[in-house]
Structure 1
Amino acid sequence: MADEYHEEKPLTPAIKPPSPPITVDEALSIELRKQHRGFRNRTICCGIITAVILIISVVMLILGFTIFHVKNPKINLNSVSLTGLDRVNSTGLATNNLTVVADVSVKNPNVAAFRFEKTNSSLYYRGAVVSVADIPAGVAKARRTIRLDVTFLVTVAEMARNPQLVSDFMAGKPLQVESYTEIIGKVKILHIIKRKVTVTMNCSIAVNATGRTIVNQECKKHVSI
């Protein structure tokens, strides 16, 4: 019966033997491995960031020289027409007027619109202004050409102030006139790249007063940014 009432003693828990103390060399080795892993992780992260920045830079450089490159708009004098020249003669130089219409085109080769301001064009005879024509503000759409009719109302009396006009007219020499046109505008690409462009055109026009025709026209163009 004594065995029935005998209480079993709980087992004594196993005691884990103490770990041997870490030596200074082992601690230093562990710390060096941690630093090496951290340095390697930082190096990989910096390499990835550098590669991404390099790729973005190359892409932006390529776009800057291709799609996002701002090209110069082009201005051209297509033709010139005159009306009223048939009413001008050597006795009525001071009483008649002329209408000169210049067909001017503005070509925009960019991927964004070229918006230009209101400006004017001047017509000269032997260095003196004889007429000024207004050019309204406008927009040349991306990779499109806009046509402008620049109309000059010329008072012959203004030209007749130069005594050379009568002698040229009587001798049947072509009347030499010049025009100066300036177009000032901006090109904006994605509201990031903005450039102001000024396009100028100087034209020399020879008018045959007898035949009432344009016998020659030469233009010099310049673009400033």
Structure 2
Amino acid sequence: MASPKEQVKPFAPANSHYLRSDEEEVASLHIKLRQRKYVHCCGCVSAVFLIIAVTAIVLGFTVFHVKDPKIKMNEVTVQRLELANGTLRTDTNITLLADVSVKNPNVASFKYSNATTLVYYSGTEVGEGRTPAGVAKARRTSRMNVTVDIVPRKILGVPGLMREVASGELTMTTYTRIQGKVKVVMVKKNVVVELNCTVSYNFSSGEIQREDCKRRVRL
């Protein structure tokens, strides 16, 4: 009779090796699937962030870019600029009426403070006018009427006036300055719009004969 030590142990199932291989293969497949899902998820998130970044850059350089407001002198009219005995009348002030428009090309309103218009003759300031604050709506044009009173005595004190009056024309320059703000989303910018115009008044026709304006914008 065989001793206990000599008893034969039962053999392991013949297919145990194959079972372990199948389990390892399934586990490896699960890991690969999780890795693929992770990579796919990261790719989607990266793509979304890339699209948002590109969209923000495009909007920043197009729609949300702060553009220059445009100021234009539409018409200038001079009243009570009359001659008496070959010289300017001094018993009444000369009135200069200017029709000014401000075009706002931005997607947000342009809010501006009081506008100032100065009139010069031969480099000497002879008149000043102010326009109340206002708002130029988004992609709209706002118009304002500027009235400037010119004191004849100031013009008469400038050398060379009578020579120009004798020629039948009087040339003056105007300077208009408008300061305001444009806020597009989170971007706020201060804007200063300046307009310099040279106008020539014809005594015979009583109208502005020539007008030349130059615009300047500072952001």
Q: Same fold (TM over 0.5)?
A: yes
In the TM superposition, 1:131-210 aligns within 5 A as: 131-169=127-165, 171-189=166-184, 191-210=185-204
Residue 6 of structure 1 is matched in structure 2 by none
Structure 1 distance, partners of 2:164, 2:70, is 34
Residues 1:167 and 1:147: Cα distance change in structure 2 (over 3 Å): same
Matched residue, 1:220: 214
Partner of 2:66: 70
**Which deviations, in whole Å up to 9, do the C-alpha atoms of 1:120-140 show, x marking residues without a partner?**
111000001101111211001
Q: How far is the alpha carbon of 1:206 from its aligned partner?
A: 0.6
CA 1:88–1:212 in 2, change beyond 3 Å: closer, same or farther? farther
Could you state the TM-score of these two structures normalised by the residue count of structure 2?
0.80
SS in 2 for 1:60: helix
Rounded Cα–Cα distance in structure 1 between residues aligned with 2:150 and 2:97: 11
Q: C-alpha separation between the residues in 2 aligned to 1:88 and 1:141?
A: 46
Q: What residue in structure 1 maps to residue 9 of structure 2?
A: none
Deviation at 1:176, TM superposition (A): 1.1
Shift of 1:35: 6.4
TM-score norm. by structure 1 comes to 0.78
Cα deviation for residue 89 of structure 1 reads 4.9
The CA distance in 2 between the partners of 1:89 and 1:214, in whole Å, is 22
Structure 1: unaligned runs, 5 residues or longer: 1-16
**Cα distance change, pair 153–88 in 1 and its aligned pair in 2 (3 A):** farther
User: Deviations 1:165-205 (Å, cap 9, x if unpaired)?
Assistant: 12221x2341110011111111122x423222221111001
* Aligned structure 1 segments of 4 or more residues deviating by more than 4 angstroms: 28-39
Superposed counterparts of 1:65-144, under 5 Å: 65-86=61-82, 88-91=84-87, 93-144=89-140
Alignment root-mean-square deviation, CA: 3.0
Identity fraction in percent: 39
1:96 to partner: Cα distance: 3.2
Q: Map Cα deviations across residues 14-47 of structure 1 (whole Å, 9 max, x no partner).
A: xxx89x89xxxx9x99997776555444322321
| DSSP 3-state at the match of 2:82 | helix
Q: Match for residue 46 of structure 1?
A: 42
Aligned residue pair count: 207
Is 2:82–2:88's contact at 8 Å kept on the other side of the alignment?
Answer: no
Q: Secondary structure at the match of 1:67?
A: coil
